[in-house]
Amino acid sequence: MTTRPWIVDDALWAVSEPLLSPWPERSPGPKPVPDRLCLQGILYVVHQDIAWQLLPLELGFGSGQTCWWRLDRWQQAGVFDELHRILLAKLSAVGELDWSRACVDGPCPREKGGAATGPSPVDRRKTGSKHHLICDGKGIPLHVVTTAANVNDITQTLALVDGIPPVAGRPGHPRRRPDAVLGDNAYDSRAIRRELRKRRIMPVISRKGVPNIKGLGKLRYVVEQTFALLHQFKRLAVRWERRLELHDAFVSLGCSLICWRRLRKAGSHPR
């Protein structure tokens, strides 16, 4: 693995570049920093979790303010969500998505402040946020929702399921529904089971007060693995952005990078 994971190689840039709106040719002011370098600056912050103003100028990424402004602009244009959806489609095309089941869970990252925060269930003197994640049977992230830390996992189950983007890559209509959803007893609810069945999804959820479903833990371990991969990006382990949409931009970018690594591991080099 490269010692500089923030470098955007040619294959990844070929996927990302068409999503970025071209810079106006006659825009006032100095010549802007190239988009590819700005994207690398954003990835540097994602991996290193440094303040924007500490972004090393000698790396050629431009100032922290330049990269921050480009991040905001691209998030408003939906670039990172679209990149995630495209990479999911490429994974589907090479048979790397397992739609037979999806797993849900919701650990808490620490947080400094801002929207979608609330008292931490561990320490109510501190505010915090929580990532709710749904992944496929192989641990590929399909959708992430950020809420306050005191929001119950069960309230986000349908938001996670309904938030899965339509994934192309196979003959027929794009797919966005797994065959089953696996969850621990934190997701135990008759209403949730009923709504999942309405969506033609089988709920496989442990019930409170009874022994866990045999073998469920072995099937659900992938969601814990995906959380570990997601929070290896230091900017996601501790949330610093007060603006929720900027934090969500980092989350979508993290999901995209996990998908990209899986594509490379599968020996598929998108063109």
pLDDT tens per residue across all 271 residues of the chain: 457 888 999 999 999 999 998 777 666 666 788 999 999 999 999 999 998 989 988 888 888 899 999 999 999 999 999 999 999 999 999 999 999 999 998 875 555 555 545 454 444 445 678 899 999 999 999 999 998 888 888 899 999 999 999 999 888 899 999 999 998 888 889 999 999 999 999 998 888 866 666 667 667 788 889 999 999 999 998 888 888 999 999 999 999 999 999 999 887 554 4
Q: What's the predicted TM-score (pTM) here?
A: 0.86
Q: What pLDDT is recorded for position 1?
A: 44
For 260-269, the CB contacts below 8 A with 24+ separation are 260/12, 260/87, 262/91, 262/96, 262/138, 262/140, 263/87, 263/90, 263/91, 263/94, 263/96, 266/91, 266/94, 266/96, 268/90, 268/94, 268/96, 269/11
Q: What tokens were used for 134?
A: 């749904």
Task: Establish if 47 belongs to a structural domain.
Answer: no
Task: Establish if 158 belongs to a structural domain.
Answer: yes
Task: Establish if 220 belongs to a structural domain.
Answer: yes
CATH number at residue 114: 3.30.420.10
Beta strand 202-205 with 180-183 is: parallel
Task: Establish if 66 belongs to a structural domain.
Answer: no
Residue 187 CA to residue 191 CA, distance in Å, equals 10
Q: What pLDDT is recorded for position 12?
A: 94
Terminal Cα distance for the chain, rounded: 21
Burial (CB < 10 A; 0-12, 13-18, 19+), residue 267, is: exposed
Burial (CB < 10 A; 0-12, 13-18, 19+), residue 230, is: buried
Residue 164 CA to residue 189 CA, distance in Å, equals 21
3-class DSSP state of 102: strand
Residue 7 CA to residue 38 CA, distance in Å, equals 11
Residue 183 structural domain:
98-240
Which residue is associated with the tokens 């496929």? 136
Question: Within 13 Å and on the Cβ side, how many CA atoms surround 198?
Answer: 9
Answer yes or no: are the C-beta atoms of 256 and 83 closer than 8 Å. yes
Q: What pLDDT is recorded for position 199?
A: 95
Of the candidates 48, 262, 223, which has an alpha carbon nearest to the alpha carbon of residue 144? 223
Which residue type is seen at 117?
T
Task: Establish if 227 belongs to a structural domain.
Answer: yes
Residue 132 CA to residue 145 CA, distance in Å, equals 5
Work out how many domains the chain is built from and give that number: 1
Task: Establish if 154 belongs to a structural domain.
Answer: yes
Task: Establish if 59 belongs to a structural domain.
Answer: no
Task: Establish if 36 belongs to a structural domain.
Answer: no
Which residue type is seen at 168?
A
